[in-house]
Structure 1
Amino acid sequence: MQISVVIPFYNDYDFFPEALASVRRQSYQVAEVVVVNDGADQKSRQFLGQFDDITVIHLPENSGSAAARNVGIIAAVSSWIAFLDADDVWMDNKLAMQVKFLKDNPHFDGCHTGVCTFNQDGILNTYLNKPGNLKISDMLIDTHVLPSALMIRRQALLDINLFDVKFRCKQDQELTLRLAVSGYQVGFINQCLMKLRRMDHGNTTSSGHKILAGAWQMLRKHRNLYRQYPGTTAKFIYFSLMTAGGKMHGLERKSCFMLGKTMARVFPSLRSLAS
């Protein structure tokens, strides 16, 4: 099973060496590592030029992670794609476990893994409570699949026209929703095989705004699907409000949490989520 690793890069100088090292340590060797330099300047060109075992594609302007991943997918030589963000880290057996899972379960077109969040002090939380086989209703509600945890057939991504570059947030949820709608099956390995970095190296309030903007895009683009699956709209809005609120401050934070709690009182299906 030949695998290409696609890594979008944008000013991730402090974390990229650790991410790349986790690829090099894999017990299952990859065919190539494609790094897409999303907004190339002299500094990033020189930095990435020091790594001689990667393929680097330089984009003249910053276009966002969705566009960068699409460029990497198109350029990849392998039948399978594994994504890794430049500030995340894989466990040493991550790809080997995914290859075994997919060989044991050939009806799946891809699989993702459990996630551990971490910072400079170590592991913070572990997330293993995910559906064993993603369904449309699951993907309408929440982001279950993180790119750094996903390995997928390249052809499946091409068949659904790749990531939607209009999304700057929730593009991973939107992609996996379209995979489910198109009949592609994504399984789940109930082990933490990927570490997601949690560190304030960006504007957290801006991240909250992006989450709400991405939620609005999801609702507009897939409004017909939300109508077909009663109850998913309220749950999706609730999760989006609570997640966005957690990344905001002051009145905006309070407003998101207040709206979420109000929804939980109005919609009985949300009460167990809010308890």
Structure 2
Amino acid sequence: MQVSVVIPFFRDYEYFPEALESVRRQSHPAAEIIVVNDGKDAKSQAYLDQFDDIIVIHLPQNLGSAAARNAGISAAVHTWIAFLDADDVWLENKLAMQVKFLTDNPQFDGCHVGVCTFNQQGIQNTYLNKPGNLQIEDMLIDTHILPSAFVIRRQALLDINLFDVKFRCKQDQELTLRLAVAGYQVGFINQCLIKLRRMDHGNTTSNGHKIIAGAWQMLRKHRQLYRQYPGTLSCFIYLSLMTAGGKMRGLERKSCFVLGKTMKWFIPSLRKTANGSP
């Protein structure tokens, strides 16, 4: 099974070498490594030119990770696509275990793996509590599949018109929701096989605002689905508020937490809701 790896790159000079090396170390080698430079300039072009074992696509301006991934998917020549963010790290048997899973379970069109978050102090948290076969209800509520954990048939992505480039946040949840609606099956390997870097890359409050904006886009685009699956709307809003609040400060942080906890108090179905994805 041949897998094309797609890595969006936007000024990730500090962490990209570690991410790339984790692909090179895979026990099941990647068939090709496509790096999409999301905003070409002289510095990024010269930097990426030094790596002789990658295919580089230069986008003329910064269009966001959804557009960068779409460019990589379109350029790929193999049946399967794996994504890796330029600051994350794969464990060396990640691809091998996904290839084995998909070979042994041909009913699945893709699979994802457990996630460990880490920073300069080491591993922070491990996330393994995921559904074994994602359903529409799951994807309406939470972002269960992160790009760095995902292997999927290229044709499945083409069939649903790839990532929605209008989304700058929650684009991974929105994509996998459309996969579920289209009937594609995604399985889960209950092992931590990627390390997701958790750093403050920029303005924390801005990240919280992006989560709220992405949630609003999800609600507007898929409002009919939320109506079809009662209970998913309140869970989605609760998790979005709590996640956004965790990335804000001051009054905005407090307001998100108060609204979220108030919803959880008055809606019984929320009392068993998990704390969200990494």
Determine if the TM-score, normalized by the shorter chain, exceeds 0.5: yes
Unaligned regions of 5+ residues in structure 1, if any?
Answer: none
Residue in 1 aligned with 2:35?
Answer: 35
Alignment check: 8 A CA contact 1:82 1:150 kept: yes
> One-letter code of the match for 1:174?
E
- Cα deviation 1:171-196 (Å, max 9, x = unaligned): 00000000000000000000000100
The root-mean-square deviation of aligned C-alpha atoms, in Å, is 0.9
Q: CA deviation at 1:274?
A: 7.7
Name the CA distance, whole Å, in 2 between partners of 1:148 and 1:272.
27
Residue in 1 aligned with 2:81?
Answer: 81
> One-letter code of the match for 1:95?
L
Residue in 2 aligned with 1:142?
Answer: 142
- Cα deviation 1:64-95 (Å, max 9, x = unaligned): 00000000000001100000000000000000
Residue in 1 aligned with 2:11?
Answer: 11
Residue in 1 aligned with 2:228?
Answer: 228
Alignment check: 8 A CA contact 1:137 1:229 kept: yes
Residue in 2 aligned with 1:212?
Answer: 212
1:22-101 maps to which residues of 2 (within 5 A)? 22-101=22-101
Unaligned regions of 5+ residues in structure 2, if any?
Answer: none
Name the CA distance, whole Å, in 2 between partners of 1:256 and 1:72.
36
Partner SS for 2:7: strand
Alignment check: 8 A CA contact 1:261 1:274 kept: no
- Cα deviation 1:222-257 (Å, max 9, x = unaligned): 000000000000000000000000000000000000
Number of paired residues? 275
1:140-219 maps to which residues of 2 (within 5 A)? 140-219=140-219
Q: CA deviation at 1:203?
A: 1.4
Residue in 2 aligned with 1:238?
Answer: 238
Residue in 2 aligned with 1:271?
Answer: 271
Q: CA deviation at 1:268?
A: 1.1
Name the CA distance, whole Å, in 1 between partners of 2:200 and 2:274.
26
Residue in 2 aligned with 1:131?
Answer: 131
- Cα deviation 1:133-178 (Å, max 9, x = unaligned): 0000000000000000000000000000000000000000000000
Q: CA deviation at 1:272?
A: 2.7
Q: TM-score under structure 2 normalisation?
A: 0.98
Identity over aligned residues, as a percent?
Answer: 80
Name the CA distance, whole Å, in 2 between partners of 1:204 and 1:40.
26
> One-letter code of the match for 2:174?
E
Partner SS for 1:239: helix
Q: CA deviation at 1:121?
A: 1.3
